[in-house]
Chain A
């Protein structure tokens, strides 16, 4: 039965987060507050080498010096960095040998989220490094990966086992001095994923990890480091849902990608953290620094993201195109509703010859959501024949939302070709009418149009994610009428 628009809009805007629940597990939490002692404590808990402790302390010094950024298109809520506990790990009594020994409640949580953790449930090709509040609890498919010489582990494990690799690449793309949140992450990062693909290896499966924030008041400071050596290929998936909380939680992660000659890295994200309720209270602050570098010739880095959650999403996955003929791609769908804010986009820094970049950004704003695309395309003097294509479209649903576009286009090379276009509009009444006429009710028509609108981006997600992303879009936007 068709509902009238007012009802549908009301129903839609009242829709709250469906994945909010808290897992009751004993946590090992460091007392709140940030100072050098906290960093010493974290480092000691993780049994880290001296160089890493020193690096953390330098990052902390840099954090103290950096002012809060103020260029963003929203009010940065006051964050009390002393009111956050910087480390939380699920308490485990002894090492686990197989899946049966994993805390059943933990498994139940993952199953609620639809993560196929147990081996039977892991569909062919997905190895899950499940990060549950900072510490890896189970890792699958390690054997297959080992056969190929691929390292896929938590950063803390990698620090112990491959210190020279970590030391060489950690902070090489996102130095701690990059911005305030990167510095904070550098100082207190708890854990994250580490991937190394050796020369000429094509990773036989999609690597995936699920981040989850569970302990109340624990900001999560993940650090992901992916290195693709010459001629290798890897596709990495990251997906997240977080339990419902009333206090804001901050997430300041850092992701670094390094692609050597002829290597390719594909990084996909589906982000569905708690966005806060319809009055805008609660919700996650998602302040993430993601950057990749195409170090060698013919390297390729591709970012794909579907952002539907978080109270504030603030991130710009970027690519530094250093090698000749290297390629950077960015595909994004960002949905904001209720009082959500998204300020996201990308940076493409062209340095090598014949470098190419492509940016497709689709923003959808509903309710009182604010959606900003902010991007930079920079062509250096030596980037002969650099090529960029940018398209950022915004869809507005409801008259209280906003869509904004702030591209920076800077070219210092005559042979470069840069194109940027952006459009903003609402779902056309004629489009809905057309579908109505063919017996499709308004609710489904909107879902159809939105899915079609986002298709260009969703197509770039790996199979497993594409399904989840489409479901997410439908859940978030079904029944919304412009």
Chain B
């Protein structure tokens, strides 16, 4: 199929074509509003403050298939995603699709389609996402077809992590829009690990949205391991809502080689006494562009949030970090911290860091810090004078730098896996003097 129309036009047409086959009721309204928002805004461009450093236009030129076909050939070929010795409940999504319900004690995992038919997620789905400001999230909301719903019962403790492997078939250029909804009911506990497998080497654009609702006294840990081939472009919007006394840990790893990784992580603290930790590590190489935008919204008093993002930028890669802490007037006694450290490992690497504080309450302790530098010369000298080679010394220092983040991983198998990836990638890296 050769066409000269833009991706934007194709989405507009597609929405109109599907007019008749669409659901009724609240979901239709949700989609219509989202579509309006996308149609008005279009794809983001660098004149938009949030996209100043990330130009997505080149990634949208491809002639993508907008509705991926069911890929039967995927069966049995996703072993590459396996994290060695990870003991978890395995969930495999093929091109965003789950074939059947999966029952785990205390946890119900169902395909999004059937879940939407059986129960009403009106009070969850798309409820908090500011679609008017985020065209990609609006696009996903207007078009999503597949995905999963994970519901953790009240007071249920999920004994093992839930490992979601996203398998995509990129034997032809595809634009996929998966959707994940996680609901941890009050008093429950769940750990979710997400990883990626891409088959084929054609361009793949993943525009995913996931929402996570954490009830009172509940705890949720999310691990997002973004490791994919060079032709993969990832735009991910994650919205998390925390109720009183809940705990949330997010671990985001931007690993090689996907040419574009853009994450939006939005956290609304919707109750008192919550605790949240956001950890991130980005290790771009080649001409990779990784971009992490986080927003922590302190809406209620006595909440604690802590954010630590670190990056090692190699080759001609680019890194973007934008973190925002927003403390509303009622959110007294807030403690909010944010830190972003970067190492430029190569002469051609670039970093744009934008930590921000917006504070409207006075009885708070908030701080942010951001640094950009290269490896410490004294530390290098120290190691070299003890007989460690230049490259090995550098790798050691990078591992030590990353340790602050990797050390926070609570699942040993995931931790080992990530550390191995870092070691492996650093060994491949070209070292400039």
Shortest CB distance B257–A (Å): 21
Report the bound CA distance from A269 to B360 in whole Å: 28
Shortest CB distance B301–A (Å): 11
Can you list, as one digit per residue, whether each of A421-460 has a CB less than 8 Å from chain B (1) or not (0)?
1111110000000000000000000000000000000000
Of the candidate stretches A95-103, A249-257, A406-414, the one touching chain B is A406-414
User: Is the pair B352, A410 in contact by a Cβ cutoff of 8 Å?
Assistant: yes
Give B337's nearest chain A residue, CB to CB: A423
Chain B positions within 8 Å of A51 at CB level: none
Report the bound CA distance from A191 to B304 in whole Å: 53
Chain B positions within 8 Å of A401 at CB level: 360, 362
User: Is the pair B352, A409 in contact by a Cβ cutoff of 8 Å?
Assistant: yes
Of the candidate stretches B141-149, B340-348, B405-413, the one touching chain A is B340-348
User: Is the pair B370, A398 in contact by a Cβ cutoff of 8 Å?
Assistant: no
- Interface size class of chain A, counting residues whose CB lies under 8 Å from the partner chain: 35 or more
Chain A positions within 8 Å of B346 at CB level: 414
Give B342's nearest chain A residue, CB to CB: A411
Chain B positions within 8 Å of A415 at CB level: 374
User: Is the pair A413, B352 in contact by a Cβ cutoff of 8 Å?
Assistant: no
User: Is the pair B356, A404 in contact by a Cβ cutoff of 8 Å?
Assistant: yes
Shortest CB distance A86–B (Å): 32
Shortest CB distance B107–A (Å): 40
Chain A positions within 8 Å of B351 at CB level: 409-411
B365 CB-CB contact with A under 8 Å? yes
A482 CB-CB contact with B under 8 Å? yes
B84 CB-CB contact with A under 8 Å? no
Chain A positions within 8 Å of B361 at CB level: 396, 399
A417 CB-CB contact with B under 8 Å? yes
User: Is the pair A407, B356 in contact by a Cβ cutoff of 8 Å?
Assistant: yes
Q: Point out which of A381, A404, A406, A409 has the most chain B C-beta atoms below 10 A from its C-beta.
A: A409
Partner of B368, one of A408, A414, A422, A482: A422
Number of A-B residue pairs, CB cutoff 8 Å, is: 117
Chain A positions within 8 Å of B356 at CB level: 404-407
Shortest CB distance A361–B (Å): 12
User: Is the pair B362, A398 in contact by a Cβ cutoff of 8 Å?
Assistant: yes
Describe A's contact surface by its main secondary structure: strand
B329 CB-CB contact with A under 8 Å? yes
Shortest CB distance B296–A (Å): 14
Can you list, as one digit per residue, whether each of B352-392 has a CB less than 8 Å from chain A (1) or not (0)?
11111111111111111111111000000000000000000
| Interface residue total, chain B, C-beta cutoff 8 A | 35
User: Is the pair B362, A416 in contact by a Cβ cutoff of 8 Å?
Assistant: no
Residues of B22-59 at the interface with A, using a CB-CB cut-off of 8 Å, are 49
A394 CB-CB contact with B under 8 Å? yes
Chain B positions within 8 Å of A71 at CB level: 49
User: Is the pair A411, B354 in contact by a Cβ cutoff of 8 Å?
Assistant: no
Chain A positions within 8 Å of B373 at CB level: 416-418
Report the bound CA distance from A379 to B374 in whole Å: 14
B350 CB-CB contact with A under 8 Å? yes
User: Is the pair A397, B357 in contact by a Cβ cutoff of 8 Å?
Assistant: no
Shortest CB distance B267–A (Å): 19
Give A421's nearest chain B residue, CB to CB: B369
A419 CB-CB contact with B under 8 Å? yes
Give A373's nearest chain B residue, CB to CB: B357
Give B338's nearest chain A residue, CB to CB: A422
B332 CB-CB contact with A under 8 Å? yes
Chain B positions within 8 Å of A417 at CB level: 371-374
Report the bound CA distance from A411 to B353 in whole Å: 9
User: Is the pair A402, B358 in contact by a Cβ cutoff of 8 Å?
Assistant: yes
Give B363's nearest chain A residue, CB to CB: A426
Chain A positions within 8 Å of B365 at CB level: 423-425
User: Is the pair A414, B49 in contact by a Cβ cutoff of 8 Å?
Assistant: no
B349 CB-CB contact with A under 8 Å? yes
Report the bound CA distance from A71 to B49 in whole Å: 8
A420 CB-CB contact with B under 8 Å? yes
Residues of A290-345 at the interface with B, using a CB-CB cut-off of 8 Å, are none
User: Is the pair B372, A404 in contact by a Cβ cutoff of 8 Å?
Assistant: no
Residues of A71-93 at the interface with B, using a CB-CB cut-off of 8 Å, are 71
User: Is the pair A420, B359 in contact by a Cβ cutoff of 8 Å?
Assistant: no
Give B371's nearest chain A residue, CB to CB: A419
User: Is the pair B366, A420 in contact by a Cβ cutoff of 8 Å?
Assistant: no
User: Is the pair B368, A421 in contact by a Cβ cutoff of 8 Å?
Assistant: yes
Report the bound CA distance from A394 to B360 in whole Å: 12
User: Is the pair A414, B357 in contact by a Cβ cutoff of 8 Å?
Assistant: no
7 residue pairs A–B, Cβ–Cβ below 8 Å: A396-B362, A399-B332, A404-B357, A405-B368, A412-B350, A414-B347, A416-B373
User: Which of A's residues lie within 8 Å of B, judged by CB?
Assistant: 71, 379, 381, 394, 396-426, 482
Shortest beta-carbon contacts, A-B, top 8: A396-B362, A418-B372, A409-B353, A414-B344, A423-B367, A420-B370, A405-B357, A421-B369
Q: A400-B329, A411-B372, A416-B374 are in contact. List 12 more A-B contacts (CB 8 A).
A: A381-B347, A401-B360, A408-B354, A417-B374, A418-B372, A419-B369, A419-B370, A420-B353, A422-B357, A422-B367, A424-B359, A426-B362
